[in-house]
Amino acid sequence: MKSSRALDVIGTLARLGLAAVWLVSGVLKAVDPDQTYVAVRAYDVLPTAGVEVVAALLPWVEIAFGLLLVLGVGTRIVAVLSLALLLVFMAGVVQAWARGLSIDCGCFGGGGAVEPGQTAYVQELLRDTGFALLACWLIVRPRTVASLDSRLVDSERT
Amino acid sequence: MGGAARNEKRRKQDEAARKLAAAGIRVERKTGPNRTAIILVAVVVVFALLVGGFIFWQRSSGSSGDVAATYPVAVSGAVVTAGTGPVVVDTYEDFLCPQCERFESRYAGEMKTALNEGKITVRYHAIAILDRLTEPQGYSTRAANAALCAASANIYPGYHEKLFAEQPAEGGSGLTDEQLIAFGTELGAGADFAACVTGGTNSAAVTAETDKAVADPALQTDGNFGTPTVTVNGQKIDLNDTSWLQTAIGA
């Protein structure tokens, strides 16, 4: 019982941590749409129209994930979606690295081309791996304290 | 599974749980995602997509690419002066700079209308600060030179637009001289245009203009010069203000 409580607390920290990541990165991207466009374009994967759409929608999807995690609504679903999005990001960074592009990932705002030798692919991938681990925890064990999920389950019981 | 069947199943589960509880056995209910949570997640994500789509639609309004430019254009050194309006707009752009492409795709139409209506004068400063970002280096200077050649050939508005529409990626090789010449030929440039592009006729002027802009404190943001930089009557404007041009011409 006691250890279950401790696991709930760890899960809660993972949930709020991942929520903070999405909210910060989403807001930084949303306030500077042109920079976000430049960051997405720098990966050199999508055609112009695709870059426009992704750059316009991505920040708001990140903010949505963040809000859902803060409230603890559908934690497991959002964790699965978060992991999927993080894997897409990591794939983007890996392809840029493999193709010898020199870009900043633009993970938390910024982004675009940088001087060769100014790249930080290893750090960016390690950071994303850390975020992915938070998501994995919540997929395996989505139970946390102070979440709306627990209320949704409770209301179903009556 | 229909609603009635689901309720029946739930009722039976609850019954069973009660019996077990009465016998002193606790059953932890499944806490996986339920239907309400799935719907809530879907609603919030769809709402977020709508917000993003709406803002995108709002920002990408007003492209008048098909309107012909009817304003006069003059070139002096590495500065192209377009129009004769009372409000003077100075733009400092590098043809390789993605943010400049963003600026053009957003405001070129609006600026063309204001130029045609004689409301503004635009001084296009040909800047090359990103030469090192192509392989081989130097696309920014080659493109800026070609744009000035286009001004001399009386095709500047279309050529300027074309260079941003066909902007190459940073880190690539940039457009070739052949491509730069072909754009001009398409727009009706004369026979001496090709020699102007390949000969780098205006390259020294571009370098001088770039050095001058970089050293001008009035053009710096936090001590650095970057592109695009835009001034209205000498005052640097905030490019995040989407209504800067309307404000400037009092529309």
Question: In this predicted model, what pLDDT tens digit does every residue of B172-223 receive, in sequence order?
Answer: 889 999 999 999 999 999 889 999 999 999 999 999 999 999 999 999 888 8
Q: Which residues contact B12 (CB under 8 A, 6 or more apart)?
A: none
For residue range A73-96, what is the model confidence (pLDDT) as tens digits?
999 999 999 999 999 999 999 999
Q: Is residue A71 situated within a structural domain?
A: yes
- State the residue range of the domain holding A28: 2-143
**A27 falls within a domain:** yes
Domains of chain B: 3-59 (no CATH), 73-249 (3.40.30.10)
Q: What is the ipTM of this complex?
A: 0.87
The answer to whether B121 and B81 are in contact (CB under 8 A) is yes
CB contact under 8 A, B60 and A42: no
| Residue the block writes with tokens 């936090």 | B222
For residue A118, give both structure tokens. 């100014």
Query: In whole angstroms, what is the distance from residue A111 CA to residue B170 CA?
Result: 12
Provide the domain count of chain A.
1
- Which chain B residues touch A112 with a CB distance below 8 Å? 98, 170
Which of B84-87's residues contact partners 24+ apart within 8 Å by CB, and which partners? B84/B118, B84/B121, B85/B114, B85/B115, B85/B117, B85/B118, B85/B119, B85/B120, B85/B121, B85/B249, B86/B119, B86/B120, B86/B121, B87/B119, B87/B120, B87/B121, B87/B232, B87/B233, B87/B248, B87/B249
Asked if omega into B157 is within 30° of 0 (cis), the reply is: no
Instruction: Tell me the C-alpha distance between A127 and A18, whole Å.
Output: 12
Q: What is the CA radius of gyration of chain B?
A: 29
Strands B87-93 and B120-126: parallel
Distance from C-alpha of A37 to C-alpha of B43, rounded to nearest angstrom: 26
The model's pTM: 0.77
Tell me which residue in A81, A103, A152 faces B36 most closely, judged by beta carbons.
A152
Decide if A154 is inside a domain. no
Q: Find the angle CA(A23)-CA(A119)-CA(B216) to the nearest 5 degrees.
A: 90
Q: Does A153 fall in a domain?
A: no
Both structure tokens of B66: 């098909």
* Residues A147 and A127 sit within 8 Å (Cβ to Cβ): no
Would you call the peptide bond into B136 cis, given omega within 30 degrees of 0 as the criterion? yes
Residue A150 falls within a domain, yes or no?
Answer: no
Cβ of A113 and B133 within 8 Å?
yes
Q: Quick one: angle between helices A2-30 and A48-71, nearest 10?
A: 140
Per residue, the 3-state secondary structure of B60-125, as one string, reads: CCCCCCCCCCCCCEEEECCEEEECCCCEEEEEEECCCCHHHHHHHHHHHHHHHHHHHCCCEEEEEE
d(CA B181, CA B72): 23
Test A56 with B36 for CB contact under 8 angstroms: no
Question: In this structure, is residue A66 part of a structural domain?
Answer: yes
Q: Is A10 within the bounds of a domain?
A: yes
B38, B47, B56 ranked by CB distance to A74: nearest: B38
Distance from B45 to chain A by nearest Cα, in Å? 6
Query: What is the residue whose two structure tokens read 């600060």?
Result: B129
Q: pLDDT tens per residue, chain B (251 residues)?
A: 555 676 777 777 777 767 777 776 655 555 444 788 889 999 999 999 999 999 888 777 555 556 788 899 999 999 999 999 999 999 999 999 999 999 998 899 889 999 999 999 999 999 999 999 888 999 999 999 999 999 999 999 999 999 999 999 888 889 999 999 999 999 999 889 999 999 999 999 999 999 999 999 999 888 889 999 999 999 999 888 888 999 998 86
Chain B residues within 8 angstroms (CB to CB) of chain A: 10, 14, 29, 31-34, 36-38, 40-41, 44-45, 47-49, 51-53, 55-56, 59-60, 98-99, 102-103, 106, 132-133, 169-171, 239-240
- CB B176: neighbour CB atoms within 10 A? 12
